[in-house]
Structure 1
Amino acid sequence: MIGEPAGLWQRVDPAQLLLLRELAEHGSVTAVARATTRTPSAVSQQLKVLQRRVGVPLVERAGRGVRLTDAGRALAGIATGVATALAVAEADWEGYRGGAGGTVRLAVFHSAGELLVPGLLDRLAAAPQITLETHDEDVSQDDFAALTADYDVVVAHRSDDVVPPARPQVEVRLLLREPLDVALPLDHPLARRDRVSPQDVIGEQWIAPPAEFPIDRVLTAIAARAGAPVRVVRRTTHLPLMEKLVSHGHGVALLPRHTTRERTAGRLALVPLADLRAGRIVEALMRPDKAARRAVRTVVDALVAEAAAYPG
């Protein structure tokens, strides 16, 4: 029994083991091939070699594709620890050599990008050995964690009045809490108020993002507090469009305070909500092995420092 684990690891190629983990996260050989810049046939061949080496079935047919067996899922889970250990070793070696370079791929939703990326780039000027790639990704709040399979860091948001979604094997760094205010046309009767209640605004025509986005979940809370449904007349994920529609008198909206205030001074009124905690949590999500990289840690530390400028 004592010699058995050593025998296993003598037979297993870590690169093949990591492919199994990618299959667990991406769900198909084609997606793994795309994520790892291989051909599907090359991925399938490596998985077959791994299966022969461990001596038990790791994948099985499922319709036109494949799925992991129980043994495959167990080994894929072990692969996360292996990947993290390798990343820690690489980070220690980088530290010994005095460097923390390389490319870091950052996925960020649009309004957080406007708020954080310019200052982040200013801060990273002190680390010219790091190349930062930025990618726009705006999905429903429960889908951000899956993006960590494709990016080093994913800036995500969620409403602060719900329990965080299950995010196994994902590291989380809090960046900021951004309040959500009611955006009103400047000539609206409520525009000069210090605060408005859900009952004050429940009868308005609302411009909102799609369901399951953090702002929409706060609208649901407004409806529950006011005891009446919200009338949504238009939906869009594009906050500048929401701002322009409000400023032209085509409805009201819930908008993030810091992002909107920098863009819309003199064009619309932002009024805080009374009797309801309305905001969104902005976080950085990473796989543990990617979080171990020194370059990734440098980028995330700079994100945290930049976000500290915005009070919640």
Structure 2
Amino acid sequence: MELHQLRILRELADLGSVNAVAKALYVSPSAVSQHLAQLQRSFPAPLTQKDGRRLVLTAEGKLLASAAASVASTLAEVSAKIRTQDQDRDVPIRVAGFHSIGQTIFAPLLAYPEGELPPLRFSDEDVSQQDFPALTSSYDLVLAHRMGHTAPWPEEHIAVIPLAFEPLDIAIHRDHPLAHFEKLTPAQVINQPWVVSRAGYSPADVLETIAALAGSAPRIEHRVNDYATAGALVQVSECLGILPRYTARQTLDESVILRPIHGLNSGRQIDLLVRAEHLHRGPVNDVISAIRSTVQRLVLA
């Protein structure tokens, strides 16, 4: 049994398929399968089993994958004690985030005075909510969002650092007949034309709830995930949109205003997802503190 074999088993637990593990580790699927076969020889109980065309972990495999995460955390803690602070601060911290949070906080983080933070490498990841935890395989820190009524993050695999609750509001042109209302009810808005995200993303989830409360299907004219584009469409049409209150604000023209939805606590929780071993690194914790401060300023602006 070798450390890289344990890592592969852990990645299979988190990513869910041999192909995904191969992609994350930059090896071939056959190499992944070979390492899993070698690891299996050390244990009498099967670690994996076929589920249709997919290879999944057995209960014993999940137990060993959890132990692999603990081993990684222990090694990271020891490594942090051995390395000097200066050596660790030279290692870039990889940060991923959904589009609107990236548009809002990546630049302020990069603008920190030289020397206060380690080198940062940003990536935007436009994924469905359930796919955020798997990104921790490729990034040190992952900015993710989750609707309140959905399943919690898998905290048996990752650490979760809450950042803020962001309401989702109705975006409307200031000259629209409904714009003079301070709050809008589902009955008022359901028959309006809409620009909303694709299914599986927060705005579409909120519109489904609005439709359920109003008892009528919405009239969706445009499916757009990018909030700046959705806001631009609201600006030049009679369409209503659903946009996050804080992260979409700086991309909106002044003619587009946001109104809360009466009787509906619509919003998303913004969290930072991280593998536990990274929390032993001082520079990672410095970046976490900077992200917290930046998000808090965004909420209070």
Question: TM-score band (shorter)?
Answer: 0.7 to 0.9
- How much has 1:246 moved relative to structure 2? 0.7
Map Cα deviations across residues 149-188 of structure 1 (whole Å, 9 max, x no partner).
Answer: 222211111223x144341312111122222221112321
C-alpha separation between the residues in 1 aligned to 2:270 and 2:19?
Answer: 32
Residues 176, 310 of structure 1: 8 Å contact kept: no
Residue equivalent to 1:14:
3
Indicate if the aligned counterparts of 2:80 and 2:281 stay in contact, CA closer than 8 A. Answer: yes
CA RMSD of aligned residues (A): 2.6
Q: Structure 1 residue 35 and structure 2 residue 24: aligned? A: yes
TM-score normalised by structure 2 residue count: 0.87
Deviation of 1:204 after TM superposition, in Å, equals 1.0
- Quick one: structure 1 residues 14 and 187, their matched pair in 2 at CA, closer, same or farther if it must change by over 3 Å? same
Shift of 1:147: 1.9
Q: Distance in 1 between matches of 2:70 and 2:190?
A: 49
Aligned to 1:148: 136
Identity within the alignment, %: 37
* 1:240 corresponds to: 228
Distance in 1 of aligned mates of 2:207 and 2:171:
13
Q: Matched residues in 2 for 1:220 and 1:110: separation?
A: 22
- Name the structure 2 match of 1:73: 62
Match of 1:165 in 2: 152
Paired position in structure 2 for 1:6 = none
Q: CA deviation at 1:48?
A: 3.4
In structure 2, which of residues 93, 106, 112 is the aligned counterpart of residue 104 of structure 1?
A: 93
- Does the CA-based 8 Å contact 2:168-2:243 persist in structure 1? yes
**Alignment match, 1:4:** none
Query: Taking structure 1 as the reference length, what is the TM-score of the superposition?
Result: 0.84
* Number of the residue aligned with 1:303: 291
1:25, CA displacement in angstroms?
A: 2.5
2:188 matched to 1:231? no
Question: What displacement does 1:79 show?
Answer: 0.7
Deviations 1:116-141 (CA, angstroms, capped at 9, x unpaired): 1111112373345x222211211222
Tell me, yes or no, if the aligned pair for 1:94 and 1:100 is still in contact at 8 Å. Answer: no
Shift in Å, 1:252 = 0.6
The one of 108, 113, 116 equivalent to 1:119 is 108
When Rg is computed on C-alpha atoms for both structures, the one with the higher figure is: 1
Query: Who is 1:137 aligned against?
Result: 125
CA–CA separation in structure 1 for the residues paired with 2:108 and 2:251: 16
Flag structure 1 segments of 5+ consecutive residues without an equivalent.
Answer: 1-11
Which residue is equivalent to 1:218?
206
| Cα distance in 2 for residues equivalent to 1:40 and 1:215 | 36
Report what 2:259 is aligned to. 271
Deviation at 1:248? 0.9
- 8 Å CA contact retained: 2:158, 2:274: yes
Structure 2 distance, partners of 1:141, 1:48, is 32
Cα displacement (A) at 1:207: 1.0
- Relative to structure 1, the CA distance from residue 63 to residue 280 in structure 2 (aligned partners, 3 Å threshold; closer, same or farther) is closer
> Does residue 293 of structure 1 match 2:281?
yes
Deviates more, 1:66-75 or 1:268-277: 66-75
Task: Write out per-residue CA displacement over residues 199-220 of structure 1, whole angstroms, 9 at most, x where no aligned residue.
Answer: 2212211111112212222222
SS in 1 for 2:68: helix
**Per-residue deviation, residues 273-298 of structure 1 (Å, max 9, x unmatched):** 23322222211111222333333222
2:248 pairs with 1:260:
yes
Secondary structure class of the residue paired with 1:102: coil
